[in-house]
Amino acid sequence: MQLLHLDSSVLGAASVSRQLSAGIVARQQALHPGLRVVVRDLAADPALHLSGAHVAAFQGVPSDDATITADLLKGNAYMDELFAADILVIGAPMYNLTVPTPLKAWIDRVAVAGKTFRYTASGPEGLLQGKKAFIASARGGVYSAGSPAAALEHQENYLTGVLALLGVADVTVIRAEGLALGAQAKDAAVSQALADIAALPA
Ligand SMILES: Cc1cc2nc3c(=O)[nH]c(=O)nc-3n(C[C@H](O)[C@H](O)[C@H](O)COP(=O)(O)O)c2cc1C
C-alpha cells in the first residue's frame, strides 16, 4: 500500500496542519504495517502558477523554456504519485478563506479532464478509484456548520469538492479551528484533533 503525504503550510515547525498531517500519517502507518509513504512539501517546492506557456507545452507544443519543461515534469510526477497512492493525506491550512496557492497549483496539475475525470452526458465523472483521503485542516477562525462565518468556508468544502470530482468520495476531515482565539482555545482544538486522529479506524 502507498500513502501520498502533501503539506502546504508556510509556517514550518509552527504549523498546525503539518502537526496534524504527520499525526495522520503515523496513525496510518500503525494501522497498515509496511505502508510506503511518499512526501510532497508543496510549500518548500511548489509548482508554478498555471500559465499559457505551461498549458501549451502540456498540450504538446514544443517548448525550449527549461522552467516550463521542469514544471511539466513536476506535474507528471504529481499525477503518477496520485495514481499510485491508496491513501492521500493533505495538510490544508486556511489562508484567506481557502487553501494555500501551492496546494491549488498541485490541484491544477492533477485535475485534468481525460486523466483524473471525464465529462459525460450526465456531468463530470471521477476516474480515480478505491482511494481514501484525509484532510488535516487548520484555521484561525471558526467556520464549522452553524457558525456565523460558515458561508465563508471555501477550504474544506473546496477540497472535498475537488476530490469528489476526481472520484475520491471517502474523505475524512481532521480539523483544528479557532486557533487565533487564544492559547487555551488553540490547545483545546489541537488536543481534540489529535484525539480524533488517535481514534481513526483501520
Ligand atoms: C497568510 C495567512 C492567511 C490566513 N487567512 C486566514 C483566514 O482567512 N481565515 C482564518 O480563519 N485563518 C486564517 N489564517 C490563520 C491560519 O489559518 C492559522 O494560522 C492556521 O494555523 C494555519 O495553518 P498552519 O498552522 O498549518 O499554517 C491565515 C494565516 C495566514 C498565514
Indicate which CATH number applies to the domain containing 167.
Answer: 3.40.50.360
pLDDT in the model for residue 202: 84
3-class SS at 137? strand
- pLDDT-based confidence at residue 184 (cuts at 50, 70, 90): very high
Query: The domain containing residue 163 runs over which residues?
Result: 2-198
DSSP letters along 67-91, please?
Answer: HHHHHHHHHHHHHHHHHH-SEEEEE
pLDDT in the model for residue 22: 98
- pLDDT-based confidence at residue 116 (cuts at 50, 70, 90): very high
Q: State the average pLDDT over residues 89-110.
A: 98
CB of 94 closer than 6 A to ligand 1? yes
CB of 124 closer than 6 A to ligand 1? no
- Answering whether pTM is above 0.75, one says yes
Number of domains in the chain: 1
- Whole-angstrom Cα distance, residue 6 to residue 111? 16
**6 alpha carbon – ligand 1 mean position (Å):** 17
**13 alpha carbon – ligand 1 mean position (Å):** 14
Q: State the average pLDDT over residues 29-36.
A: 97
Test site for ligand 1: of 94, 174, 187, most ligand atoms within 8 A of the Cβ: 94
pLDDT in the model for residue 80: 98
CB 166 within 8 A of CB 117: yes
CB of 100 closer than 6 A to ligand 1? no
CB of 11 closer than 6 A to ligand 1? yes
Average pLDDT, the chain: 97
Give the model confidence (pLDDT) of 125-183 as tens digits: 999 999 999 999 999 999 999 999 999 999 999 999 999 999 999 999 999 999 999 99
| Residue 6, beta-bridge partner list | 40, 90
| Residue 92, beta-bridge partner list | 137
Q: State the average pLDDT over residues 48-67.
A: 92
CB of 97 closer than 6 A to ligand 1? yes
Test site for ligand 1: of 16, 41, 95, 101, most ligand atoms within 8 A of the Cβ: 95
DSSP annotation of 46: P
DSSP annotation of 171: E
